[in-house]
Structures are given as C-alpha cells and as structure tokens.
Chains A and B, each alone.
Chain A
Amino acid sequence: MEKCIGCKCCEAACKDFYRMPPEIRWRKVRSFEVGEFPTALRVHLSLACNHCVDPACMKGCPVQAYTKRDKDGLVIHDPTACIGCQYCTWTCPYGVPQFDPEQGVVSKCNGCYQRIDEGLMPRCVESCLTGALTFGKVDEHAVRQRQVVTEAPGFPDPSITKASTRFAWPLKGPQPDHQVLVAPEKEGE
C-alpha cells in the first residue's frame, strides 16, 4: 500500500495477457480513504484472487470446478467444468469470480499457475512499475516486510476464508491497531 500509486498497469497487463472481454477484470485496483484529517491517507489496493486457505468458492461450487493445488495453494478454476450457476460469485466475499455472459461461465485469477510452473512471476507482479506487488510464500512475506497484515481498508474480513493475501501498510499515516506482524531483524542488518 506504500508503493502502489494506483496506475492500474497490473490490471491492464492481466487483461491483455489473458485477452479478457472488456467487462471482466481478474485484477482490480480500488482506492480507499483511511484515517482522519490531518493524517488521512488515500490508499490503493491492487487485488485479484486471494487463493484462500479455506476457499468458499471451492466449497460451495456444485460441480467441483475449483481445485486447490497442494504444492503452492493456488485455487484454480476450470471453465470447462463450470455450468455458470454463479454461486461462487456469492460465496466469495472479495468479489473475485466473475460471470461472463458471453461464455456462460465464471472465470477468475488462477495466479498465472502455468507461468509459476515455468519459474516465471505472475503477469501483474512482472508489470508493476513500483514493485508494489510480490508473489511468494506467505511466511516469507512476513519476514520480508516490516509491517505485514491480513487486513486492509475496505477489504472484506479475511478471517472468513483465511485469505492468503498480505498487505504492507504505508509507513506514514494511520497504522493498523492490530494484527501487525513485525518481522525479526535479519542478521547483518
């Protein structure tokens, strides 16, 4: 949240790479206001699928169109199995799965799993101008960042599905009053 400038380059890169129809955006950048004057702050959240530990989309899907990979926890949606009931668009609190009326199925961010398998980064991470997006293991994130939290302004309660996304709050301005994980200092720092 410190680094994101809300340029939506990540959105565009994702849409371009997957050739999505205009109304579908797997990654969305939203802007929120937090705090009180004179310390009020405008923050931008670039979000796609949170690849939850307990994915509500997968649990509720009647046709088993969702799978969660054991090796990295990515939640993958199979459009060929989907019947377009749109129940996952209700069960996901974060509004991640989106219905495409043209195709008659839902689609969502699959974490660029094919690129991950090739040792590449997801397109959004690769395209980010400011380095605001990173991808990796959740526990490693906690070590790399000074303040890594599961909650962010406007972001639906992550405890519902144990979202895997982590946020680094801006160093200036109002700070989160709980769930702050301060990483232990690394050797030599």
Chain B
Amino acid sequence: MAEWLHDAQYSLVIFTLFTQASVGAFWVLLVSDFLKRKAPDAIQDAFTRIGTAILIPLTAIGLTFSTTHLGRPQYAWRALRHIDSSWLSREIWGFSLFFGLVALYTYLWWKRIGDAELRRHVGVMTGLVGILAVLSQIMVYQIPGRPTWNHPSSFLLFGASGLILGPLAVAAVYSFAWGRLIDLKSGEETVRLSHRRLGLTLLSGAAIYGVGLLWRLNFLAAGAAAALDPKVAGKAAVGSATVKTAIAIGQQVMEQHAALLWLQVGLGVGVPALLAALLWYLHRRGAGLKLCNALIAAGLGMVALGELAGRALYYMTGRPWF
C-alpha cells in the first residue's frame, strides 16, 4: 500500500465519513417523517421511503472499512468487550446498534409503511443512538497521546461533516427518484421544498465546519509558534511544554500538505455555502429543477472530495511525537 495512504489512515477516513454521513442522512429522513406527522403526504412519504434506501449501504460501507485497518480483522468483534472504559469500544457498539436499528427502520418503511407510530418510535431511538455513536467516535480522538486531535474543534468538524454530507446524499437520491420513480409533476413541489431546507442545512453545516476549521488552524498555529520560539527552538522541551512539540509537528504536516487544506476549505466549506446560495437564487428566479438537481449531484461529488481531503489531513497531522 502507498505510504501516504497508510499515513492518511484511508480506511478510517472512509469509516468516519460514511458513518457520519449515514447519521446525517438518517436525521434528515426522520425530520421529514415527523414534519408530515399531522398532515400525511403520500408524495413526501414516497421520497422519504426511497431516501431510506441509502442508509444501509452507507453504514455498511463505513462499518466494513472500520475493520480494514485491523491487523487481525477476523477478531473485530472483540472490540465490543471493553465498553466500560474504551471510547473505541463504545464507538463500535454505537455504530453496530445504529446499523441494526437503521435496518429495522428501513424495513418498517418498505414492508410495514402503515405502522407509522412504531416507525417513528424506532426512528427516534435510532437517531439518538446515531448521535451517541458519533459523539463516541469524536471522543476516540480526544486523547492526550495525540495533542493535534485532542481539541474541541474535532466535535465541530465531525458533526458538520454529517450535517453536510448526509442531507446532500438524501437530496441526490431525491433528484434521482424525481421523474424516474416518482411522477415529475406531482413530485415537483416536494423537491422544491426539500431544496429550500437543504440550502439552510448546508449553510448551517458550512458555518459550523468553517468555525471548527478556523479554530483548529489557529490552535495548531499558536502551538507551533510557541514551540518554535527562538528562545526554545532547537532544544528539547520538558514536561507540559512537550505538547507544543507535537502541535508543531502537526503544523509542519499541515504545511507540507497545503493542497489538501485548500481542497478542504474550497470544496468542504466553500462548495456547500455556494450551493446553498445558488439553490436559493435559482428557486427565487423560478429556474428548472433539473438544473438544481444537476448542481446537487455535482456539489455532492465536490463536497465528498473536500471532506476526504480534510479528513485525510486530520489523520496525517496526528503524528507520533516521541
């Protein structure tokens, strides 16, 4: 395997992004389900039902990639053993449970669509488990052993990835279904409404992601500046000052891979914000939905690329410091 792929922990990049996207997508579908609770809407239900089709593949791909970095993947199940003190164990519990509940939720949509109350109960439970799983996933990186990750900005970055990727993935499925699986005319209003909501979600996600990224960049730059102060540079740090050495190493990695950072900023933050603005503008001008759908598909591709670059960079900055 190429060394840079190993450094970038490609399997964990895919695992974290796919599972976060899955939780984000699930919440979009659950909210859609609840918004129509009082006034049932068969068209919206049809879209939501089709949307649930991506939940199992997204989570399954994520979980599969969680095992590919293991030295002995055949014993991956053992990771469930240490839930009392290991966040990694809690993370695996969380996403395994989430996967099971997602499968049940999807089954209820496809095979027992009339049982809406049960579905919503399962949905709420699934959504909460999904959030707990993502929180556990973030806690895995809140470790003093890797000071470049041990920062609250990780919460914003991981959370925002789900908030951006999940809704975009659902919107792409809606775009695909409209005209193919659901009648063009009857589905138009639902798709337009979903685009307005998507725009707001993307703006929120891009804002959170941007704040998280700025916070992290500032944290790395400040730590590196302290470590490279001419008074101490070149000498071995002692005690708590050694943490700054770790941050300086992370900052150097960031500078070496500046192209990934630009991709993260441009495609991970810029594109969702731009897409939200374009959707708002095009709908205001009454533009055709096909153009909007094409933009969503292109946006999903670009955002996914930006997220992959950003997450790879995140892992690369977590170098050993001793």
A62 & B82 in contact (Cβ 8 Å cutoff): yes
B-contact bits for A22-54, CB 8 A (1 contact / 0 none) = 000000001011111000000000000000000
Of the candidates B73, B86, B318, which one forms a contact with A60 in the assembled complex, judged by CB atoms under 8 Å apart? B86
B78 at the interface (CB under 8 A from A): yes
Of the candidates B87, B88, B235, B246, which one forms a contact with A34 in the assembled complex, judged by CB atoms under 8 Å apart? B235
Question: Which residues of B lie under 8 Å from residue A156 when comparing CB positions?
Answer: 242-243, 246, 321-322
In the complex formed, the residue of A with least CB distance to B73 is A83
B242 & A87 in contact (Cβ 8 Å cutoff): no
The tally of residues in B whose CB lies under 8 Å from a CB in A reads 38
- Name the distance in Å between B109's Cβ and chain A's nearest Cβ: 33
Question: Which residues of B lie under 8 Å from residue A99 when comparing CB positions?
Answer: 71
B143 & A63 in contact (Cβ 8 Å cutoff): no
Of the candidates A36, A84, A95, which one forms a contact with B70 in the assembled complex, judged by CB atoms under 8 Å apart? A84
Question: Which residues of B lie under 8 Å from residue A184 when comparing CB positions?
Answer: none
**Which of the four size classes fits the interface of chain A?**
35 or more
In the complex formed, the residue of B with least CB distance to A47 is B322
A101 to B321, CA, bound (A): 21
A-contact bits for B61-102, CB 8 A (1 contact / 0 none) = 000000001111101101111100111110010000000000
Interface residues of A in 127-150 (CB under 8 A from B): none
B144 & A93 in contact (Cβ 8 Å cutoff): yes
B236 at the interface (CB under 8 A from A): yes
A85 at the interface (CB under 8 A from B): yes
In the complex formed, the residue of A with least CB distance to B93 is A62
Question: Which residues of A lie under 8 Å from residue B114 when comparing CB positions?
Answer: none
A82 & B71 in contact (Cβ 8 Å cutoff): yes
Q: A33-B236, A62-B88 are in contact. Are A84 and B145 (CB under 8 A)?
A: no
Q: A90-B146, A95-B320, A99-B71 are in contact. Are A157 and B140 (CB under 8 A)?
A: no
Question: Which residues of A lie under 8 Å from residue B320 when comparing CB positions?
Answer: 89, 95
A173 at the interface (CB under 8 A from B): no
B235 & A103 in contact (Cβ 8 Å cutoff): no
A85 & B69 in contact (Cβ 8 Å cutoff): yes
A18 at the interface (CB under 8 A from B): no
A169 to B238, CA, bound (A): 12
B214 at the interface (CB under 8 A from A): no
B240 at the interface (CB under 8 A from A): yes
In the complex formed, the residue of B with least CB distance to A102 is B71
A56 at the interface (CB under 8 A from B): yes
- Name the distance in Å between B33's Cβ and chain A's nearest Cβ: 34
In the complex formed, the residue of B with least CB distance to A96 is B322
Interface residues of A in 149-189 (CB under 8 A from B): 151-161, 176, 179
B230 at the interface (CB under 8 A from A): no
A91 at the interface (CB under 8 A from B): yes
A105 at the interface (CB under 8 A from B): yes
B79 & A85 in contact (Cβ 8 Å cutoff): yes
A101 to B1, CA, bound (A): 12
- Name the distance in Å between B89's Cβ and chain A's nearest Cβ: 4
B239 & A60 in contact (Cβ 8 Å cutoff): no
Interface residues of A in 106-120 (CB under 8 A from B): 106
A-contact bits for B193-210, CB 8 A (1 contact / 0 none) = 000000000000000000
29 residue pairs of the A-B complex, CB under 8 angstroms, read: A34-B235, A34-B238, A60-B86, A60-B88, A61-B86, A62-B78, A62-B82, A63-B81, A81-B78, A82-B71, A82-B72, A90-B143, A91-B145, A95-B320, A95-B322, A104-B70, A105-B72, A106-B71, A151-B239, A153-B238, A154-B236, A155-B238, A156-B243, A156-B321, A158-B239, A159-B239, A159-B240, A176-B238, A179-B239
Beyond A61-B88, A83-B72, list 13 extra A-B contacts (CB 8 Å).
A34-B238, A35-B235, A59-B86, A61-B86, A81-B78, A85-B69, A85-B79, A91-B146, A93-B144, A101-B71, A156-B321, A157-B144, A159-B240
The interface of chain A, by Cβ under 8 A from chain B, is 30, 32-36, 56, 59-64, 81-87, 89-95, 99-101, 103-106, 151-161, 176, 179
Query: Shortest 4 CB-CB distances between A and B: which pairs?
Result: A84-B71, A104-B71, A153-B236, A32-B236
The interface of chain B, by Cβ under 8 A from chain A, is 69-73, 75-76, 78-82, 85-89, 92, 140, 143-146, 234-240, 242-243, 245-246, 318, 320-322
